[in-house]
Amino acid sequence: MRPITRRSLLGLTAGATLGAAAGCGLVGDGTKDVPIGDGSMSDTGPQPHQTAAERLEPGRKPPQFVIFSWDGAGELDNGLFTRFRTLAKEHDAKMSFFLSGLYCLPEAKKDQYRPPNNPVGASDIGYFKDEHIRTTLEQVRLAWLEGHEIGTHFNGHFCSGYGSVANWTPEQWESEIEQAIGFVSTWKTATGFTDVASLPFDYRKELTGGRTPCLLGQEQWLPTAAKLGLRYDASGPGGSQIWPSKKQGLWDLPLQLIPFPGHRFEVLSMDYNMLANQSHAATTSDPGNYPGWREQATASYIAGFQRAYDTNRAPFYIGNHFEQWNGGIYMDAVQGVLEYISSQNADDVRMVSFKQYVDWLDAQDPALLARLRTLEVGRQPTEGWAEFTKSV
Protein backbone atom coordinates (compact mmCIF):
# COMPACT_ATOMS: atom_id res chain seq x y z
CA MET A 1 0.00 0.00 0.00
CA ARG A 2 1.21 3.48 -0.82
CA PRO A 3 1.22 6.19 1.81
CA ILE A 4 -1.51 8.77 1.51
CA THR A 5 0.11 11.74 -0.15
CA ARG A 6 -0.96 15.33 -0.04
CA ARG A 7 -1.82 15.08 -3.70
CA SER A 8 -4.06 12.12 -3.20
CA LEU A 9 -5.87 13.93 -0.42
CA LEU A 10 -6.46 16.82 -2.76
CA GLY A 11 -7.96 14.30 -5.15
CA LEU A 12 -10.63 13.26 -2.70
CA THR A 13 -14.20 14.33 -3.25
CA ALA A 14 -17.28 14.51 -1.11
CA GLY A 15 -18.05 10.90 -1.98
CA ALA A 16 -14.80 9.67 -0.47
CA THR A 17 -14.33 9.02 3.19
CA LEU A 18 -11.08 9.78 4.90
CA GLY A 19 -11.76 7.00 7.38
CA ALA A 20 -11.61 4.41 4.65
CA ALA A 21 -8.47 6.00 3.26
CA ALA A 22 -6.50 4.84 6.25
CA GLY A 23 -7.56 1.26 5.58
CA CYS A 24 -6.45 -1.05 2.84
CA GLY A 25 -6.09 1.36 -0.03
CA LEU A 26 -8.32 -0.77 -2.23
CA VAL A 27 -11.65 1.00 -1.92
CA GLY A 28 -13.09 2.49 -5.05
CA ASP A 29 -13.64 6.00 -3.88
CA GLY A 30 -10.45 7.78 -4.82
CA THR A 31 -8.54 6.62 -1.74
CA LYS A 32 -6.21 4.26 -3.58
CA ASP A 33 -3.60 6.11 -5.57
CA VAL A 34 -1.14 4.28 -7.77
CA PRO A 35 0.51 6.53 -10.37
CA ILE A 36 0.53 5.32 -13.95
CA GLY A 37 3.39 6.18 -16.32
CA ASP A 38 4.58 9.75 -15.79
CA GLY A 39 1.88 10.37 -13.19
CA SER A 40 -0.58 12.03 -15.58
CA MET A 41 -3.00 9.33 -14.48
CA SER A 42 -3.43 7.32 -11.34
CA ASP A 43 -5.24 4.10 -10.54
CA THR A 44 -7.68 5.03 -7.80
CA GLY A 45 -9.80 1.89 -7.94
CA PRO A 46 -13.32 1.44 -9.27
CA GLN A 47 -15.19 4.55 -10.36
CA PRO A 48 -17.36 6.13 -7.65
CA HIS A 49 -21.12 6.62 -7.96
CA GLN A 50 -21.84 3.58 -10.11
CA THR A 51 -24.71 1.18 -9.59
CA ALA A 52 -24.76 -2.41 -10.77
CA ALA A 53 -26.78 -3.05 -13.93
CA GLU A 54 -29.79 -5.25 -13.26
CA ARG A 55 -31.79 -7.52 -15.50
CA LEU A 56 -35.31 -6.35 -16.25
CA GLU A 57 -37.77 -8.47 -14.33
CA PRO A 58 -40.25 -10.32 -16.53
CA GLY A 59 -43.49 -8.40 -16.91
CA ARG A 60 -41.93 -5.02 -16.17
CA LYS A 61 -41.78 -1.96 -18.39
CA PRO A 62 -38.18 -1.06 -19.27
CA PRO A 63 -36.80 2.09 -17.68
CA GLN A 64 -36.51 5.17 -19.87
CA PHE A 65 -32.80 5.82 -20.41
CA VAL A 66 -31.69 9.33 -21.33
CA ILE A 67 -28.07 9.92 -22.31
CA PHE A 68 -26.56 13.41 -22.54
CA SER A 69 -23.23 13.50 -24.38
CA TRP A 70 -20.71 16.25 -25.02
CA ASP A 71 -18.32 16.37 -27.98
CA GLY A 72 -14.93 17.95 -27.27
CA ALA A 73 -15.46 18.46 -23.53
CA GLY A 74 -12.96 21.29 -23.04
CA GLU A 75 -13.36 23.93 -20.34
CA LEU A 76 -12.90 27.50 -21.58
CA ASP A 77 -13.55 30.78 -19.76
CA ASN A 78 -17.30 30.43 -20.28
CA GLY A 79 -17.30 27.54 -17.79
CA LEU A 80 -19.74 25.33 -19.66
CA PHE A 81 -18.21 22.06 -18.45
CA THR A 82 -18.66 23.31 -14.87
CA ARG A 83 -22.20 24.46 -15.62
CA PHE A 84 -23.34 21.06 -16.88
CA ARG A 85 -21.50 19.08 -14.21
CA THR A 86 -23.30 21.22 -11.64
CA LEU A 87 -26.63 20.70 -13.36
CA ALA A 88 -26.04 16.95 -13.53
CA LYS A 89 -25.28 16.83 -9.83
CA GLU A 90 -28.43 18.78 -8.98
CA HIS A 91 -30.58 16.28 -10.86
CA ASP A 92 -28.62 13.09 -10.20
CA ALA A 93 -27.71 12.62 -13.87
CA LYS A 94 -24.59 10.98 -15.25
CA MET A 95 -23.30 12.04 -18.65
CA SER A 96 -20.74 11.11 -21.32
CA PHE A 97 -17.93 13.55 -22.00
CA PHE A 98 -16.14 12.85 -25.28
CA LEU A 99 -12.77 14.44 -24.73
CA SER A 100 -10.66 15.73 -27.64
CA GLY A 101 -7.14 14.42 -27.00
CA LEU A 102 -5.57 17.65 -28.23
CA TYR A 103 -7.07 19.50 -25.25
CA CYS A 104 -4.27 17.88 -23.24
CA LEU A 105 -1.43 18.88 -25.62
CA PRO A 106 0.08 22.39 -25.54
CA GLU A 107 0.38 24.13 -28.88
CA ALA A 108 4.14 24.41 -28.34
CA LYS A 109 4.25 20.61 -28.57
CA LYS A 110 1.97 20.26 -31.55
CA ASP A 111 4.60 18.46 -33.60
CA GLN A 112 3.84 15.44 -31.43
CA TYR A 113 0.52 15.10 -33.24
CA ARG A 114 0.74 13.27 -36.55
CA PRO A 115 -2.77 13.27 -37.96
CA PRO A 116 -3.53 10.79 -40.74
CA ASN A 117 -3.59 12.42 -44.21
CA ASN A 118 -2.80 15.85 -42.73
CA PRO A 119 0.41 17.77 -42.00
CA VAL A 120 2.18 17.22 -38.70
CA GLY A 121 0.55 19.34 -35.99
CA ALA A 122 -2.46 20.28 -38.10
CA SER A 123 -5.88 20.48 -36.48
CA ASP A 124 -9.30 21.81 -37.44
CA ILE A 125 -10.02 22.64 -33.81
CA GLY A 126 -7.82 25.14 -32.03
CA TYR A 127 -5.10 24.09 -29.60
CA PHE A 128 -5.83 25.21 -26.07
CA LYS A 129 -3.83 27.79 -24.16
CA ASP A 130 -2.10 26.30 -21.12
CA GLU A 131 -4.67 27.78 -18.76
CA HIS A 132 -7.46 25.95 -20.58
CA ILE A 133 -5.56 22.68 -20.57
CA ARG A 134 -5.43 23.15 -16.80
CA THR A 135 -9.13 23.87 -16.45
CA THR A 136 -10.01 20.98 -18.75
CA LEU A 137 -7.90 18.48 -16.80
CA GLU A 138 -9.56 19.67 -13.61
CA GLN A 139 -13.03 19.21 -15.06
CA VAL A 140 -12.27 15.79 -16.50
CA ARG A 141 -10.94 14.67 -13.13
CA LEU A 142 -13.99 15.94 -11.24
CA ALA A 143 -16.38 14.56 -13.84
CA TRP A 144 -14.96 11.05 -13.49
CA LEU A 145 -15.03 11.24 -9.70
CA GLU A 146 -18.69 12.27 -9.89
CA GLY A 147 -19.48 9.17 -11.93
CA HIS A 148 -19.50 10.56 -15.47
CA GLU A 149 -17.92 8.81 -18.43
CA ILE A 150 -14.81 10.08 -20.22
CA GLY A 151 -15.01 8.92 -23.83
CA THR A 152 -13.27 10.23 -26.93
CA HIS A 153 -13.88 12.76 -29.69
CA PHE A 154 -10.43 11.94 -31.15
CA ASN A 155 -8.00 14.76 -31.97
CA GLY A 156 -7.88 17.09 -34.96
CA HIS A 157 -11.57 17.01 -35.96
CA PHE A 158 -11.02 16.89 -39.74
CA CYS A 159 -14.36 16.90 -41.53
CA SER A 160 -13.68 18.05 -45.08
CA GLY A 161 -11.36 17.61 -48.02
CA TYR A 162 -8.78 14.91 -48.59
CA GLY A 163 -7.73 14.80 -44.94
CA SER A 164 -11.28 14.23 -43.67
CA VAL A 165 -11.82 11.43 -41.17
CA ALA A 166 -14.40 10.16 -43.66
CA ASN A 167 -11.47 8.81 -45.73
CA TRP A 168 -9.39 7.25 -42.98
CA THR A 169 -8.59 3.55 -43.02
CA PRO A 170 -8.87 1.36 -39.92
CA GLU A 171 -5.07 1.61 -39.56
CA GLN A 172 -5.26 5.41 -39.64
CA TRP A 173 -8.03 5.36 -37.05
CA GLU A 174 -5.80 3.23 -34.88
CA SER A 175 -3.04 5.80 -35.12
CA GLU A 176 -5.51 8.56 -34.26
CA ILE A 177 -7.01 6.84 -31.22
CA GLU A 178 -3.61 5.71 -29.93
CA GLN A 179 -2.45 9.33 -30.13
CA ALA A 180 -5.59 10.53 -28.35
CA ILE A 181 -5.04 8.04 -25.53
CA GLY A 182 -1.38 9.04 -25.52
CA PHE A 183 -2.06 12.78 -25.11
CA VAL A 184 -4.44 12.14 -22.21
CA SER A 185 -1.95 9.72 -20.64
CA THR A 186 1.12 11.98 -20.83
CA TRP A 187 -0.13 15.52 -20.29
CA LYS A 188 2.18 15.91 -17.33
CA THR A 189 5.30 15.47 -19.46
CA ALA A 190 3.89 17.52 -22.33
CA THR A 191 2.80 20.48 -20.20
CA GLY A 192 5.36 20.39 -17.42
CA PHE A 193 2.57 21.23 -14.95
CA THR A 194 3.50 20.23 -11.42
CA ASP A 195 0.50 21.72 -9.65
CA VAL A 196 -2.33 19.89 -11.42
CA ALA A 197 -3.76 16.69 -9.95
CA SER A 198 -3.50 13.41 -11.85
CA LEU A 199 -6.50 12.05 -13.67
CA PRO A 200 -7.89 9.45 -11.26
CA PHE A 201 -8.28 6.66 -13.82
CA ASP A 202 -6.41 4.65 -16.43
CA TYR A 203 -7.78 6.08 -19.67
CA ARG A 204 -6.91 3.01 -21.71
CA LYS A 205 -9.09 0.93 -19.40
CA GLU A 206 -11.73 3.60 -18.92
CA LEU A 207 -12.33 4.22 -22.60
CA THR A 208 -15.47 2.42 -23.73
CA GLY A 209 -16.60 4.44 -26.75
CA GLY A 210 -16.94 7.85 -28.32
CA ARG A 211 -18.17 9.85 -31.27
CA THR A 212 -16.23 10.65 -34.44
CA PRO A 213 -15.98 14.26 -35.67
CA CYS A 214 -19.04 15.35 -37.68
CA LEU A 215 -20.45 11.80 -37.40
CA LEU A 216 -18.11 10.74 -40.22
CA GLY A 217 -16.08 7.60 -40.80
CA GLN A 218 -17.93 5.09 -38.62
CA GLU A 219 -17.60 2.11 -40.98
CA GLN A 220 -13.80 2.32 -41.01
CA TRP A 221 -13.52 3.26 -37.35
CA LEU A 222 -15.51 0.28 -36.07
CA PRO A 223 -12.98 -2.46 -36.93
CA THR A 224 -10.37 -0.54 -34.94
CA ALA A 225 -12.78 0.12 -32.08
CA ALA A 226 -13.57 -3.60 -31.94
CA LYS A 227 -9.87 -4.49 -32.00
CA LEU A 228 -9.27 -2.20 -29.02
CA GLY A 229 -12.13 -3.78 -27.10
CA LEU A 230 -14.40 -0.72 -27.11
CA ARG A 231 -18.06 -1.56 -26.53
CA TYR A 232 -20.15 1.08 -28.27
CA ASP A 233 -20.01 3.82 -30.84
CA ALA A 234 -22.13 6.97 -30.93
CA SER A 235 -21.03 8.14 -34.39
CA GLY A 236 -23.86 6.73 -36.48
CA PRO A 237 -24.87 9.40 -39.00
CA GLY A 238 -28.51 9.29 -38.04
CA GLY A 239 -30.85 6.88 -36.37
CA SER A 240 -34.32 6.86 -34.94
CA GLN A 241 -35.96 6.31 -31.59
CA ILE A 242 -35.80 2.52 -31.53
CA TRP A 243 -33.90 0.05 -29.36
CA PRO A 244 -30.30 -0.40 -30.52
CA SER A 245 -28.47 -3.25 -32.17
CA LYS A 246 -24.80 -4.06 -32.63
CA LYS A 247 -22.68 -3.16 -35.62
CA GLN A 248 -19.34 -4.91 -36.15
CA GLY A 249 -19.58 -6.18 -32.57
CA LEU A 250 -20.21 -2.79 -30.90
CA TRP A 251 -23.45 -1.27 -29.72
CA ASP A 252 -24.47 1.24 -32.40
CA LEU A 253 -25.94 4.28 -30.62
CA PRO A 254 -26.59 7.00 -33.23
CA LEU A 255 -28.18 10.39 -32.70
CA GLN A 256 -31.88 10.15 -33.34
CA LEU A 257 -34.53 11.86 -35.42
CA ILE A 258 -36.96 13.60 -33.09
CA PRO A 259 -40.02 15.80 -33.66
CA PHE A 260 -39.21 19.37 -34.71
CA PRO A 261 -42.14 21.59 -33.68
CA GLY A 262 -43.28 23.79 -36.56
CA HIS A 263 -41.90 21.44 -39.21
CA ARG A 264 -43.17 18.31 -40.89
CA PHE A 265 -39.66 16.80 -40.95
CA GLU A 266 -37.73 15.61 -37.92
CA VAL A 267 -34.31 16.79 -36.71
CA LEU A 268 -31.30 14.92 -35.31
CA SER A 269 -30.95 15.24 -31.57
CA MET A 270 -27.86 17.45 -31.63
CA ASP A 271 -27.12 21.17 -31.31
CA TYR A 272 -25.47 21.34 -34.74
CA ASN A 273 -28.54 19.93 -36.48
CA MET A 274 -30.84 22.40 -34.74
CA LEU A 275 -28.46 25.18 -35.80
CA ALA A 276 -28.33 23.96 -39.41
CA ASN A 277 -32.11 24.09 -39.62
CA GLN A 278 -32.66 27.33 -37.74
CA SER A 279 -29.87 29.60 -38.97
CA HIS A 280 -28.46 27.60 -41.90
CA ALA A 281 -25.43 26.77 -39.77
CA ALA A 282 -24.57 30.43 -39.04
CA THR A 283 -23.44 30.55 -35.42
CA THR A 284 -24.60 34.11 -34.89
CA SER A 285 -27.84 35.49 -36.23
CA ASP A 286 -30.39 38.22 -35.55
CA PRO A 287 -30.80 38.03 -31.75
CA GLY A 288 -34.50 38.68 -32.26
CA ASN A 289 -34.75 35.07 -33.43
CA TYR A 290 -33.10 33.56 -30.40
CA PRO A 291 -36.03 33.29 -27.98
CA GLY A 292 -38.19 31.49 -30.53
CA TRP A 293 -35.40 29.18 -31.60
CA ARG A 294 -34.50 28.40 -27.99
CA GLU A 295 -38.11 27.45 -27.35
CA GLN A 296 -38.23 25.35 -30.52
CA ALA A 297 -35.03 23.45 -29.69
CA THR A 298 -36.17 22.79 -26.12
CA ALA A 299 -39.62 21.68 -27.27
CA SER A 300 -38.00 19.36 -29.80
CA TYR A 301 -35.92 17.58 -27.16
CA ILE A 302 -38.91 17.38 -24.81
CA ALA A 303 -41.03 15.90 -27.60
CA GLY A 304 -38.31 13.32 -28.28
CA PHE A 305 -38.17 12.34 -24.63
CA GLN A 306 -41.94 12.20 -24.26
CA ARG A 307 -42.47 10.11 -27.38
CA ALA A 308 -40.06 7.44 -26.16
CA TYR A 309 -41.31 7.57 -22.57
CA ASP A 310 -44.95 7.21 -23.59
CA THR A 311 -44.42 4.50 -26.19
CA ASN A 312 -41.53 2.12 -26.96
CA ARG A 313 -39.14 3.30 -24.22
CA ALA A 314 -36.27 3.49 -26.70
CA PRO A 315 -33.25 5.13 -25.07
CA PHE A 316 -33.02 8.84 -25.87
CA TYR A 317 -29.64 10.29 -26.86
CA ILE A 318 -28.78 13.98 -26.96
CA GLY A 319 -25.47 15.17 -28.42
CA ASN A 320 -24.07 18.63 -27.85
CA HIS A 321 -20.88 20.67 -27.84
CA PHE A 322 -19.76 23.24 -25.29
CA GLU A 323 -20.60 26.15 -27.59
CA GLN A 324 -22.32 29.53 -27.53
CA TRP A 325 -23.96 29.42 -30.93
CA ASN A 326 -26.87 31.82 -31.44
CA GLY A 327 -26.43 33.34 -28.04
CA GLY A 328 -26.10 30.03 -26.21
CA ILE A 329 -29.65 28.89 -26.92
CA TYR A 330 -28.68 25.24 -27.52
CA MET A 331 -27.03 25.04 -24.12
CA ASP A 332 -30.23 26.42 -22.61
CA ALA A 333 -32.23 23.84 -24.57
CA VAL A 334 -30.22 20.97 -23.10
CA GLN A 335 -30.65 22.43 -19.62
CA GLY A 336 -34.35 22.90 -20.34
CA VAL A 337 -35.00 19.30 -21.32
CA LEU A 338 -32.94 17.94 -18.43
CA GLU A 339 -34.91 20.07 -15.97
CA TYR A 340 -38.17 19.04 -17.62
CA ILE A 341 -37.30 15.36 -17.31
CA SER A 342 -36.28 15.81 -13.69
CA SER A 343 -39.48 17.75 -12.91
CA GLN A 344 -41.58 14.75 -13.91
CA ASN A 345 -40.31 12.91 -10.80
CA ALA A 346 -40.67 9.64 -12.65
CA ASP A 347 -38.96 6.78 -10.85
CA ASP A 348 -38.47 4.88 -14.10
CA VAL A 349 -36.25 7.45 -15.83
CA ARG A 350 -32.47 6.96 -15.77
CA MET A 351 -30.18 9.77 -16.90
CA VAL A 352 -26.97 7.82 -17.41
CA SER A 353 -23.77 7.75 -19.42
CA PHE A 354 -23.42 5.64 -22.56
CA LYS A 355 -21.08 3.40 -20.62
CA GLN A 356 -23.66 2.76 -17.92
CA TYR A 357 -26.28 2.21 -20.58
CA VAL A 358 -24.28 -0.47 -22.43
CA ASP A 359 -23.64 -2.13 -19.07
CA TRP A 360 -27.41 -2.39 -18.72
CA LEU A 361 -27.84 -3.68 -22.28
CA ASP A 362 -25.19 -6.34 -21.73
CA ALA A 363 -26.95 -7.46 -18.55
CA GLN A 364 -30.22 -8.19 -20.39
CA ASP A 365 -31.47 -11.35 -22.03
CA PRO A 366 -30.62 -10.91 -25.76
CA ALA A 367 -34.06 -12.29 -26.60
CA LEU A 368 -35.69 -9.44 -24.68
CA LEU A 369 -33.59 -6.87 -26.55
CA ALA A 370 -34.52 -8.50 -29.85
CA ARG A 371 -38.17 -8.20 -28.93
CA LEU A 372 -37.76 -4.56 -27.89
CA ARG A 373 -36.18 -3.85 -31.28
CA THR A 374 -39.42 -4.86 -32.98
CA LEU A 375 -41.16 -1.80 -31.52
CA GLU A 376 -41.16 0.97 -34.08
CA VAL A 377 -40.84 4.67 -33.32
CA GLY A 378 -43.81 5.85 -31.28
CA ARG A 379 -45.29 2.34 -30.86
CA GLN A 380 -45.95 0.44 -27.71
CA PRO A 381 -46.67 -3.26 -27.34
CA THR A 382 -50.23 -3.94 -28.45
CA GLU A 383 -50.54 -6.67 -25.80
CA GLY A 384 -49.32 -4.30 -23.06
CA TRP A 385 -45.90 -4.24 -21.39
CA ALA A 386 -46.66 -6.89 -18.77
CA GLU A 387 -47.36 -9.44 -21.48
CA PHE A 388 -44.61 -8.21 -23.80
CA THR A 389 -41.74 -8.72 -21.35
CA LYS A 390 -43.31 -11.60 -19.39
CA SER A 391 -41.49 -14.41 -21.12
CA VAL A 392 -39.00 -14.26 -23.94
Choose between 203 and 322: whose C-beta lies nearer to Zn ion: 322
Among 270, 350, 356, CA closest to 309: 350
Given a contact cutoff of 8 angstroms between Cβ atoms, the answer to whether 202 and 36 are in contact is yes
Please identify, among the stretches 68-76, 105-113, 115-123, 168-176, the one whose residues bind Zn ion according to the rule CB under 5 A: 68-76
Please identify, among the stretches 63-71, 164-172, 256-264, 324-332, the one whose residues bind Zn ion according to the rule CB under 5 A: 63-71
- Nearest approach in angstroms of CB 221 to Zn ion is 14
* Footprint of Zn ion on 194-213 (CB under 5 A): 213
Closest CB to Zn ion belongs to which residue? 71
Please identify, among the stretches 65-73, 189-197, 304-312, 343-351, the one whose residues bind Zn ion according to the rule CB under 5 A: 65-73
210 beta partners: 152
Choose between 11 and 156: whose C-beta lies nearer to Zn ion: 156
Q: Count the site residues for Zn ion by CB under 5 A.
A: 2
- Nearest approach in angstroms of CB 32 to Zn ion is 34
Choose between 71 and 271: whose C-beta lies nearer to Zn ion: 71
Residues 6+ apart with CB under 8 A from 372: 62, 243, 312, 313, 314
State residue 68 phi and psi, 5-degree precision: -95, 130
CA distance 35 to 199: 10
Per-residue binding string, Zn ion, 78-107, x by CB under 5 A, is: ------------------------------
CA distance 342 to 93: 9
Please identify, among the stretches 69-77, 216-224, 247-255, 276-284, the one whose residues bind Zn ion according to the rule CB under 5 A: 69-77
Among 171, 263, 157, 170, CA closest to 213: 157
For the chain, report the end-to-end CA distance as a whole number of angstroms. 48
What value does the CA radius of gyration of the chain take, rounded to a whole number of Å? 21
Q: Does 71 bind Zn ion (CB under 5 A)?
A: yes
Contacts with Zn ion, residue ranges (CB under 5 A) = 71, 213
